[in-house]
Structure 1
Amino acid sequence: MFRDKPLRAAMARARNVLRLIALVGCAFVLIASPANAQDEADDGAWVLDPFARVEAGIVLSESGDRENDLIINGDGGYLRAQIGITFGNDTSELRLDADRIEVERFDSATGRDGFNRDRLTAQFSQAIDDDWEVQLRGRLYDDLVTVESIDTDELQGSVQVEYEPERAHRFRLRGTWRDREYDDGEGVNGASSTGQGPRVDFEYRHRIGRYHYINFDLRAEEINSANPDRAYTRESVGASYTRPITRNLRVRPAIELRHTRFDGRFTVDAEERDDTQVVPEVELLWWTGNWRIEGEAKYIFSSSNDPSRDREGYRFAVSVGYVF
């Protein structure tokens, strides 16, 4: 996949470093004693806390154009596994984790019946005082599906600043830089084409009570690339409301608006492709003990100056997970 030598070497070094971190973390998981961790917590020292998660899910989706001449099915299922550790105290925390998803499509719209995605994360959080916290995070993705490509490798670094003057109000601002490589053979001399660019996220959460929230999210991002098919800019805004129904069951209605412009993809009228999506959804979350059972229903309205992208359709998903 990594045909472009400079980026390949950089990605390979980063991948090896993060894998080494993950292996060291797993070793700590094997030798760590929960009882000792609790004793250290009582002493106010740094505590090592291993964690793991397994999850299985099924997705049913279908979309079509306004005349129903083009129907696209996206049914599938997936398995996900995650393992990691946190190591910290009341003010500082280091988190290392490895995450893998295996996806199998029942009806392939793209000719790709299945795929997998790997993710390695190293993250450090530091409380400045009672109100402020700073977080540094590095991530490596392999075979990530993105808006501009179905097969993307990504190395990203981000900084987040959190301000929570009281439990009722929390503000987060995150800046992320992303370097991407695409398995397309469309770069120089048949190498993979590349892209890079920033993303900025802002989140405000108003806490009404236990598991009772209102969230507002804003995002602006872009990818610049010498390959015109990979360059784009996007802005999105979303709002959600989480309300507990019982102690373990919550409902979460939400809506998101996304606007995407592709710099090098043109319509039949020689205009840059311009897409807008409106996505209302409702989600049910039943978290009881270590079990996580979630159901999601979305309806996606897509409008575009490219008639083939002017679509709408549904997406239903159910997942069952267990946290160790």
Structure 2
Amino acid sequence: MKSLLVALARLAVPLLALAAAPVHAGEVDVWLEAEGRAVHSDRAVVDGDSIEASGIGTSLDGGFSWTGGRTEVQFDLGAAVFDFTDEDRSTRTSLRAVASVAHEIVPDVTIAVAVGHWDDIITLEARETDQDAVGVSLAYESRPHRLRAEVQYLAREYAGAVPSTGEALRYEADYTYRFAAWTWARLDLRAEDVDSKDDLRGYERQTIRLSGSVPLDSARRWRLRPQVEWRGWTYDKRTVEATAIPREESYVAPEIGLAYGKTEGLKARLRAAYQFRTSNDPRYRRDAPYIDLAIGYRF
């Protein structure tokens, strides 16, 4: 994995050099978005990558991008606070910082390198995780098609009674077909392999997600957002109760969503999903609903 980091760093050098042109030679865009969020969830176990319990929260995200010719440099910063309904869980404060450089190497084909840090996020391995990541992606876009593939290296630190570390490789690919403005269908694929000094945190996981957007009014401000997601994972050392059999789990989560707003101004989204779980360990088979309402404003 260290060799992957070296390779990505070497790839980033020429892209950063391309981005070194004077700022006045390109276009600059700055944005800021504030959001409030309310979640109701009956999920009894951590699934990773999102808030898995009921509560309310707020977030503030900002960014800066410079585009010059065929090169774009972008910086993103974000902070979020989430207060859980469960009194046994403390309020979570998460931070995020990401920098990326993208360059169109030939018409319609873009290569990008990104580095980022996330502080106090939820992952499948732990409820308190700090993460550093470096990744490279390749994208092809020629309307109505967009195809993108990415590989990431993740270095993680887990808090808790017994702190530990871990690292992972994550492979992602997505394909989007755009029928018209704000009307599209998308397929996302992801595979990841996590290793840790704490054997109980290691696992392999796959994700398949199909989603879409369908405008409900002529101005396309209201949109229906259906989605269905499947995830399956196998733990390296976590076992079925009273056996030596590795735990294997999966879920299918159909979701219906309603979105309002466009690129700037008032934005809102309501998501309602139901998670159908399977597991070879009866303790982790509980199905559960999930409702998420977010209202924000992008300046």
TM-score by length of 2: 0.85
Q: Which residue of 238, 260, 263 maps to 2:236?
A: 263
Please report the RMSD computed on the Cα atoms of aligned residues, expressed in angstroms.
Answer: 1.7
1:273 partnered with 2:247: yes
1:81 partnered with 2:60: yes
Deviation at 1:87, TM superposition (A): 1.3
User: Which position in structure 2 is the counterpart of 1:304?
Assistant: 279
| Residues 69-118 of structure 1, C-alpha deviations (whole Å, 9 max, x = no match) | xxxx932011000122111224211111210110001135xx31321111
Q: Which residue of 133, 141, 144 maps to 1:156?
A: 133
- CA change 1:185–1:63 in 2 (3 A) is closer
Q: Which residue of 236, 240, 244 maps to 2:207?
A: 236
TM-score by length of 1: 0.79
Aligned structure 1 segments of 4 or more residues deviating by more than 2 angstroms: none
Say which structure is richer in helix: 1
User: Which position in structure 1 is the counterpart of 2:165?
Assistant: 194
User: Which position in structure 1 is the counterpart of 2:146?
Assistant: 170
User: Which position in structure 2 is the counterpart of 1:293?
Assistant: 268
3-state secondary structure, aligned to 1:128 = strand
Counterparts of 1:181 and 1:167, CA distance in 2? 41
3-state secondary structure, aligned to 1:308 = helix
> Is the Cα–Cα contact under 8 Å of residues 106 and 113 in structure 1 kept in the other structure?
no
1:180 partnered with 2:160: no
- Give the AA of the match of 2:151: G
1:212 partnered with 2:183: yes
| Residues 289-322 of structure 1, C-alpha deviations (whole Å, 9 max, x = no match) | 5111111001011111111111101011111111
Q: Which residue of 20, 26, 48 maps to 2:28?
A: 48
3-state secondary structure, aligned to 1:60 = strand
3-state secondary structure, aligned to 1:150 = coil
* Gapped regions of structure 1 (runs ≥ 5): 1-36, 66-72, 187-191
Counterparts of 2:44 and 2:130, CA distance in 1? 29
Counterparts of 1:118 and 1:74, CA distance in 2? 19
- Give the AA of the match of 1:88: T
Counterparts of 1:132 and 1:150, CA distance in 2? 38
Counterparts of 2:150 and 2:181, CA distance in 1? 25
* Alignment: residue pair count: 267
Deviation at 1:264, TM superposition (A): 1.2
Counterparts of 2:29 and 2:176, CA distance in 1? 27
